[in-house]
Amino acid sequence: MQLHSMWEHYPELKTDLADVLQTIEENIQIRDKRVEENIKALIHAGGKLLRPAFALLSANLGPDYDRDRAISVAAALEVLHMATLIHDDVVDESSIRRGKPTINSKYGNHYAVYTGDYLFTICFKILSKHSDSISNIEFSSKNIEKILMGELDQMRTRYDLNVSVKAYLARISGKTAQLFALSCYSGAVSSKAPRALAIKAWNIGHYLGMAFQIIDDVLDYTSTDDGLGKPVLNDVLQGVYSLPLIYAMRGHKQDFEPLLGKKAEMTDADLRELTTLINRYQGTAQAFELAGKYTKKAQKEIAKLPEGAYRDQLSALTNEILTRQI
Amino acid sequence: MQLHSMWEHYPELKTDLADVLQTIEENIQIRDKRVEENIKALIHAGGKLLRPAFALLSANLGPDYDRDRAISVAAALEVLHMATLIHDDVVDESSIRRGKPTINSKYGNHYAVYTGDYLFTICFKILSKHSDSISNIEFSSKNIEKILMGELDQMRTRYDLNVSVKAYLARISGKTAQLFALSCYSGAVSSKAPRALAIKAWNIGHYLGMAFQIIDDVLDYTSTDDGLGKPVLNDVLQGVYSLPLIYAMRGHKQDFEPLLGKKAEMTDADLRELTTLINRYQGTAQAFELAGKYTKKAQKEIAKLPEGAYRDQLSALTNEILTRQI
């Protein structure tokens, strides 16, 4: 079980995360061993496991910590995340994910659609083992509605040079922050945290998720190699304009029109020119600044939590997200 | 609320089915009203509602009939069915369903994939309202695995002229009979039927589902108009060879090779010739006979159930499936 090296600094979390992967593995038993192997390969493809990590840490917030329950909730969230990734890859026609060929590119859309569906049900199966988690299930469908809406918003504003910062934030709030918020919230609920505290956990997760996605979008423009495990600037070719570009275009739209007008036909030289323009107009710097603001908001909420080792870890992990290079 | 005319003969079921649709409607509330309207249109597109009907009838098997619970279970099953239909249409690239344009053809794959995902979660949301239904949830994920495997089997044997009757039966057992079996089983469980009776209900649903799918595949070759609400012989163009064709090819494969070798390029004239060949070699007649055998198996199990109006209705409905023209 190979976990991301970042977890070396969190030995307890590392043990728990290994058990999260173990729980997922145990629940994925398919007669067709090829499908099973594909899913298991994805589990071990080195996802950072941030969502389960935040769920596990938040499971210390309530009075009734139960390790099995916390691990189940964390596992269900990672499986839900995997299901949405697989379906996103179908929709975006992506061929690479975490440095490996996607299921849709390797086996076709049919395989990928049904595998995602299967993982959705595994998510609920894992949750259903703990009847206390019923409120989580009730919650998840409202939640997935918002994730769905975030993805659809993203589709609707494709190739739109006038996409606003506000629209971008609404989009990533659904697409990413929602699942981070649900992770922190569900972890808290799994330990029977009082409602006010669970809502605090929700807000922390929301801020974290916003910061995480903005940094992800900044790295899309700044990373020069394939360290991200996905094709650099894939989003912009697909017409999905993220924060650094949106900021850079403010007041300079005419500079970008000739390049972006080429849509999916942009060459590597075009993409380099685009990156140069974004840097010239401080697009990445401004985006990074906003990510910092969200991180600060998260830290401010974390500081209000009851003292404890988990609070320190939550805080350390939050900083790590802002400073991550991959 | 326009229900299929077949329900005129079952006034109580008709009232319950109207409430099933009502329950589904109430649970589908999306901020984006366009998505909401699309889903609601699908609900009212005149699906026959057989799965919820069998769930509702089977809810009379146990000692603890609860109308709300029975309607929730029936609604969850129809929503699950809708989710799989929408994803099937993405995978099969179908453009028509129930006589109307499919979501994927009208709004693109992204819309359809996420709408299906949303409906999956609504299915679990509806179930989660009744904590007694937890065992249903546990059951559903094993079940959906089998449905998934049926769909993947179908993909794997595409354009395979040597596909066997056995492989066909395994495929429809997963693809269709599984959900009919789950419907009868879940209905029974919702009324706290003893395990032996719930398993009987499962078997009845399985036989029913097998008969239903075979008849569906027979109608694909015999219906001359668009009464089915889907393009006739779409399956064969996609390389999905169903029972009438499989039977007809036994001992006469060479007659079919030149036609089927054209794959998706088959013309209307080719399809007419194919239908003629299938009739000549008694393909539809043999398939119809097997559907009759499954119907008889279902009837034999139904006859063993405790007496009551629901047993008579179950029996009448089962016959209707075999003799249906649409």
**Where do we find the tokens 């703990």?**
A130
Which of A111-115, A185-189, B143-147 shows the lowest per-residue confidence on average (mean pLDDT)? B143-147
Cβ–Cβ gap B113/A90 under 8 Å = yes
Cβ–Cβ gap A144/B117 under 8 Å = yes
| B41-99: pLDDT as tens digits | 888 877 889 999 999 999 999 999 999 999 999 999 999 999 989 998 888 888 887 77
Does the CB of A26 have a partner CB in chain B at under 8 Å?
no
Does the CB of A131 have a partner CB in chain B at under 8 Å?
yes
Cβ–Cβ gap B113/A117 under 8 Å = no
Cβ–Cβ gap A148/B118 under 8 Å = yes
Nearest-CA distance from A96 to chain B in Å? 18
Report the b/e string of A214-235 with b at 16+ CB within 10 A. Answer: bbbbbbbbeeeeeebebebbeb
pLDDT exceeds cutoff 60 at B300: yes
Shortest CA distance from B121: residue in chain A: A141
- Domain extent, residue B232, equals 5-323
Average pLDDT over residues A9-37: 90
Q: What is the pLDDT of residue A232?
A: 62
Mean pLDDT over all residues of chain A? 87
User: Coil, strand, or helix at residue A176?
Assistant: helix
**Where do we find the tokens 């057989």?**
B50
Shortest CA distance from B88: residue in chain A: A110
pLDDT exceeds cutoff 90 at B205: yes
Q: What is the pLDDT of residue B230?
A: 45
The token pair at A314 is: 């939550």
Q: Among residues of chain B, what percentage have pLDDT more than 70? A: 93
More confident residue, A5 or A136: A5
Q: What is the pLDDT of residue B287?
A: 96
Shortest CA distance from B91: residue in chain A: A110
Number of compact structural domains in chain A: 1
Cα separation, B146 vs B171, in Å, equals 9
Is there a contact between B147 and B209 (Cβ–Cβ < 8 Å)?
no
Q: Among residues of chain A, what percentage have pLDDT more than 90? A: 53
Nearest-CA distance from A152 to chain B in Å? 7
Name, in order, each residue with C-beta under 8 angstroms of B53's C-beta and a sequence gap of 6 or more: B7, B10, B13, B17, B74, B317
CB contacts of A141 in chain B (<8 Å) are: 118, 121-122, 124-125
Q: What is the pLDDT of residue B150?
A: 77
Cβ–Cβ gap A117/B116 under 8 Å = yes
Q: What is the DSSP letter of B306?
A: P
Cβ–Cβ gap A145/B121 under 8 Å = yes
Listed as own residue / partner, the contacts of A26-29 with beta carbons closer than 8 Å and 24 or more positions apart are A27/A75, A27/A79, A27/A122, A27/A125, A27/A126, A28/A122
CA distances from B123 to B16, B51, B82 (A): 18, 14, 10
Q: What is the pLDDT of residue A224?
A: 58
Which of A286-295, A312-321, B28-37, B65-74 shows the lowest per-residue confidence on average (mean pLDDT)? B28-37
- Tell me the CATH number at B313: 1.10.600.10
Kindly provide the ipTM of the predicted complex, given to two decimals.
0.78
Q: What is the pLDDT of residue B214?
A: 96
pLDDT exceeds cutoff 60 at A136: no
Mean pLDDT over all residues of chain B? 87
The partner residues of A96 in beta bridges, in order of sequence, read A101
The token pair at A156 is: 């609707």
Q: Would residue B146 be called left, alpha or beta, if left means φ above 0 and alpha means ψ between -120 and 50 degrees? A: alpha
Cα separation, B175 vs B55, in Å, equals 18
Q: What is the pLDDT of residue B139?
A: 59
Q: What is the pLDDT of residue B229?
A: 45
| A41-76: pLDDT as tens digits | 888 877 889 999 999 999 999 999 999 999 999 999
| B98-109: pLDDT as tens digits | 777 888 888 888
Does the CB of B125 have a partner CB in chain A at under 8 Å?
yes
Q: What is the pLDDT of residue A230?
A: 45
Is there a contact between A201 and A184 (Cβ–Cβ < 8 Å)?
yes
pLDDT exceeds cutoff 70 at A19: yes
Average pLDDT over residues A244-266: 94
Q: What is the pLDDT of residue A133?
A: 53
Cα separation, B82 vs B86, in Å, equals 6
| B190-199: pLDDT as tens digits | 999 999 999 9
More confident residue, B153 or B307: B307
In a mutagenesis test of the A interface, which of B33, B128, B129 is the best target, namely the one with the most A β-carbons within 10 Å? Answer: B128
Out of B113, B122, B138, whose CB is closest to A113?
A: B113
Does the CB of A96 have a partner CB in chain B at under 8 Å?
no
Q: What pLDDT band is residue A123 in, cutting at 50, 70 and 90?
A: confident
Name, in order, each residue with C-beta under 8 angstroms of B123's C-beta and a sequence gap of 6 or more: B76, B77, B79, B80, B83, B140
Nearest-CA distance from B81 to chain A in Å? 13
Residues 27 through 66 of chain A touching chain B, CB cutoff 8 Å? 30-32, 35
Strand (E) or helix (H) holding B101: strand B100-101
Q: What is the pLDDT of residue B42?
A: 84
Cβ–Cβ gap B35/A118 under 8 Å = no
CB contacts of B121 in chain A (<8 Å) are: 120, 140-141, 144-145
Smallest CA-to-CA distance from B149 within A39, A118, A80, A229 is with A118
pLDDT exceeds cutoff 60 at A135: no
Is there a contact between A114 and B86 (Cβ–Cβ < 8 Å)?
no
CB contacts of B114 in chain A (<8 Å) are: 87, 91, 148, 151-152
Q: What pLDDT band is residue A228 in, cutting at 50, 70 and 90?
A: very low
A216-220, A224-228, B220-224: range with highest mean pLDDT = A216-220
Shortest CA distance from A122: residue in chain B: B141
| B212-264: pLDDT as tens digits | 999 999 988 886 555 444 446 778 888 999 999 999 999 999 999 999 999 98
pLDDT exceeds cutoff 60 at B123: yes
